[in-house]
Structures are given as C-alpha cells and as structure tokens.
Amino acid sequence: MIQIVGLLLLCAGASAVLQCTVMPGKLKQIDAGNGQVYGVNDDDNIYQWLNKNWMQIPGLLTHVSVGPAGVWGVNRANAIFRLQDNNWVAVNGALKQIDAGGNKFVSGVNSVDSVFCLNQDQTVSKPAVLSYNQLEGNLKYYSCGLYGCWGINSNNNIYYRYDVQPTSCRGSRWQQIDGSLVKVEVGTDGSVYGVNSQGNVYKREGISAKSPTGTSWTRLDLSNSFQHVSYDRGNLWLLTKCGDIFKCKVATQ
C-alpha cells in the first residue's frame, strides 16, 4: 500500500513539511535525472519508473545512472554498459560506480578508487573505443551536475572538482568541503544532496554559478535512516537501509 507521510525539513531556522510517498518495491540503488528515474535491486535487476509503476528492464547491473549523457550502468564484473535503442551496449573500460549527470559527459570510479571521465564528444559520437581521462586522486563515489562534480573518498571526506567542462571533463583541481558523507549525488540542476554513515540526509545550501561549492549543509530531519538519495525536478528519491523507497516533493526556488 502506498502511504503519504509528512517529514519535517529544518532549514535556516524555519520548518516545512515534505510530502513524501512510500513507493512500491525495494531497491539498493536509485538515480534520478533528466526527468527519468532508474534503480537496481539486491538481485541486480534493473527498473525504470514509468507510468506510475516500476518497469523491469532486461539485464543485470549493480549501479545505474541517468542524466543528460543518457542511461549508463555497471555490473558485478565492473563492465560498463550504455542504453542505446533500448538495448544495453557494452563499452570498453571498468568502473564500479558511474554517473551520467554531467552535460553529456560521464564520470565514475573503478575498483581501486581511481577516478575517470569521458568528454562529451565520446558520449555523443559513440566511438568504437572510448577514450577515458583519469583524474588525480582517489574517490569511492563521484557525481556531476550543472555546476561541477562532487566526490567522496574512503575516509568519507567530501571534495569538489573545479573547472569541469563538457569538452574537458577532467577539470583542474580539488577542494575539500566541510563535512563527512558516504554518498553524494548532484542533480541535473546542480543541487547537491548526501548521506552520512548514520543514514542522515543533507542538502548543500547556497549553490550557484558564482558559488558552486555552496555555503553550508542542512540536515533533513527525516523519520528514517537512509542509504541513498537522488534529486531531480522537484522530487527527492530516498532509499532506506532495508531498500524501502520514498519519493518526497521539494519546494523549488
């Protein structure tokens, strides 16, 4: 049964109720972007939220991502796939986590936390062999959006990547951001949300083109502990640690 629940959001001394719906099914990972939502469950089955229901997509993946670069995913062997003409097409390379949220460029990390990205020309022209750019440093999770890319390392430190462009996805330098998270997700519009080791969910405030790293973290005062968060077009998608799915309406500015 689908339930509507009110969750309290505290921000800058004010409070508001998030209208949240408990969605059907269970997932271990979810990604929203470009008006679409995809996820995978504990059996690596792939689903798309379509016509108010989860539609299973053929194939098996451990992580899936949707955004301006299309739909991409990786499997248990770290093989990389992109959805092309409703079919998963294998491409060269190996990643454990992938992100399609950049402006038609793709980023991700491999099994030893090395960080890679594909410039926009690689994702648009679809060459037979993709040419990856490696970034210096190591991250266990990496996500990109309108105003740049954010990552988390093995110590749960948070980093922002400057000067990331569609034609030069490698960017120029890292800046450590205050706080500690286990996951960070950047929305297509540049919004940044994260989850810490206790399952608390945070939003980065003050993000803009002039201030791409924002100003501070606001904790969302939610009634559950969460393992994953993704945001797109006014909807916040959350997964509890047991895989329950919440969809919450977020007031847009």
Any idea what the Cα angle at residue 21 is, between residues 54 and 228, rounded to 5°? 70
Q: Coil, strand or helix: which one is 127?
A: coil
Q: Which residue carries 């508001």 as its tokens?
A: 16
Over range 53-57, report the average pLDDT.
97
For residue 230 the two structure tokens come to 């993704």
Over range 67-91, report the average pLDDT.
97
Whether residue 10 is predicted with pLDDT greater than 80 in this model: the reply is no
Q: Which residues contact 72 (CB under 8 A, 6 or more apart)?
A: 64, 65, 66, 80, 81, 82, 83, 98, 100, 106
For residue 248 the two structure tokens come to 């919450």
Mean of the per-residue pLDDT values for the chain?
Answer: 92
Provide the pLDDT for residue 222: 86
Q: Which of 118, 102, 103 is nearest to 150 (CA)?
A: 102
More confident residue, 19 or 21: 21
Over range 207-212, report the average pLDDT.
96
Over range 12-27, report the average pLDDT.
71
Confidence band for 19, pLDDT divided at 50, 70 and 90: confident
Q: Coil, strand or helix: which one is 71?
A: strand
Query: Could you tell me how far CA 118 lies from the centroid of its own chain?
Result: 17
Whether residue 177 is predicted with pLDDT greater than 80 in this model: the reply is yes
Residue 130 CA to residue 79 CA, distance in Å, equals 13
Residue 153 CA to residue 141 CA, distance in Å, equals 7
Determine the straight-line distance between the first and last CA of the chain, rounded to whole angstroms.
32
Residue 116 CA to residue 95 CA, distance in Å, equals 9
Query: Could you tell me how far CA 177 lies from the centroid of its own chain?
Result: 18
DSSP letter, residue 120: H
Confidence band for 251, pLDDT divided at 50, 70 and 90: confident
Whether residue 5 is predicted with pLDDT greater than 70 in this model: the reply is no
Residue 11 CA to residue 219 CA, distance in Å, equals 8
Provide the pLDDT for residue 6: 41
Say which CATH class 25-233 falls into: mainly beta
Q: Coil, strand or helix: which one is 132?
A: coil
Whether residue 101 is predicted with pLDDT greater than 90 in this model: the reply is yes
Query: Could you tell me how far CA 157 lies from the centroid of its own chain?
Result: 17
Provide the pLDDT for residue 253: 52
- Evaluate if pTM is beyond 0.85: yes
Provide the pLDDT for residue 220: 92
Over range 34-39, report the average pLDDT.
96
Confidence band for 252, pLDDT divided at 50, 70 and 90: low
Whether residue 103 is predicted with pLDDT greater than 80 in this model: the reply is yes
User: Edge to edge, what strands does the sheet with 106-109 contain?
Assistant: 97-99, 106-109, 114-118, 133-138
